[in-house]
Structure 1
């Protein structure tokens, strides 16, 4: 296991408190508070290719590090593929409900920070006003966010399906219906068509990422106009590892959006 891949099992301090946003076991949010007034609220959306075997615990080290940097931090858990209600629409509805609750109570700028499949969900959440009418999680107006940082995000579902990433993770997540109507509400690349100027999207992606190829980030950047910051020699897990050389770039992006 690489030094950064051990983030999946590395111990870290748990949250100061946990709140629920629904009755299901995984409909909850972990909260960390800094010692002083928070600069902003950073909402962390974990990855794991949307699968039930991966949960929010691997993001605890980064949540603790962000709180030490002066941010209030909220780590969202959600129903995932392989669980009752996981997939479309449940996963999307969970992320939307948790984020709406956090934004309604926040008195500071809100920055979304998502890794891998969590990058997919975070960028999707920022573009919910572009979800077609009747689609999961749709908002009538853009959500009140300062911005989104996507870390190695799975931002192109067509490529994820075509490349059969992680042995069919996207197909498992979307289910049997992978029609254009489904992808129109679930795929960030489609939602970003026409540009995302003013949305505060920043993409960080390592060019040595073997789990989520950087080509997915390049496609989204080309369609959306969002800046893609290439992390040279960086793999999939370094961006969520506070001990890695890539971590300062993550902190810098969050600080830019927090203002």
Structure 2
């Protein structure tokens, strides 16, 4: 089996490049209109910062969205518009960036997101919801076992990984393994599927038209954790997150339940 092809989403999605060029433009337009604060640091590194979008009035709580990109691409400013659904429902939304492979390892990225969650939690009181896409889905699923500060972890009431990579061991077979600086030891330690199920409600979301390995990855996590498992009809890896922009979508309803 060609594992590199198996995990290549863009190569199998028609007009994939259009998503990658459209997202930053739509995100910039959203930031120009949305209320909030940008570039809040959670660490000393240039990518260790988050944007915080706030609704009118007192927030219902805090949603934290972690972007994907194979742990090696993108920035929070490419994804701002995906805050729209929860924001319209009265929730504040934090979107962190993080250092990328190969400058750092995946365990180091996990620790960055832990610190980002703690910093965002200090800005907004109330319940917390964690969601993320692809590599971001992996990162939010890592949080229950990532030594998150108790005062932040105790407020996390739901985790919604979207198209997550829940078992990193198959990635040891892909061409990018050296870029990801992945070892057998780190692949095992960083696999949420292999961690104890958290005492937090989890909804695993994936598109029905995704690559078979991503359908497997989502199912593995749902089965390992006894989590809810949603397969979105007609959605592929790049458009499965579109429902985050719709305040009335089933995805946003599940996230904020």
Fold in common (TM above 0.5): yes
Q: Quote the Cα distance in structure 2 between the aligned partners of 1:243 and 1:93.
A: 25
Give the alignment partner of residue 172 of structure 1, picking from 179, 198, 202. 179
Q: Quote the Cα distance in structure 2 between the aligned partners of 1:232 and 1:171.
A: 35
Matched, 1:185 2:185: no
Give the alignment partner of residue 75 of structure 1, picking from 77, 95, 98. 95
For structure 1, the residue ranges without an aligned partner over 5 or more in a row are: 130-137
Aligned partner of 2:6 in structure 1 is none
Question: Within 5 A, what are the aligned runs for 1:1-259?
Answer: 1=15, 7-11=22-26, 12-14=29-31, 16-18=36-38, 19-51=40-72, 53-83=73-103, 86-129=104-147, 143-144=153-154, 145-162=156-173, 164=174, 167-168=175-176, 172-173=179-180, 175=181, 178-180=183-185, 182-192=186-196, 195-196=197-198, 198-210=199-211, 213-242=214-243, 248-256=249-257
TM-score under structure 2 normalisation? 0.80
Q: Quote the Cα distance in structure 2 between the aligned partners of 1:161 and 1:230.
A: 26
Q: Is the 8 A contact 1:202 1:253 kept in 2?
A: yes
CA RMSD of aligned residues (A): 2.8
Shift of the alpha carbon at 1:211? 8.8
Aligned partner of 1:132 in structure 2 is none
TM-score under structure 1 normalisation? 0.80
Q: Greater helix share, 1 or 2? A: 2
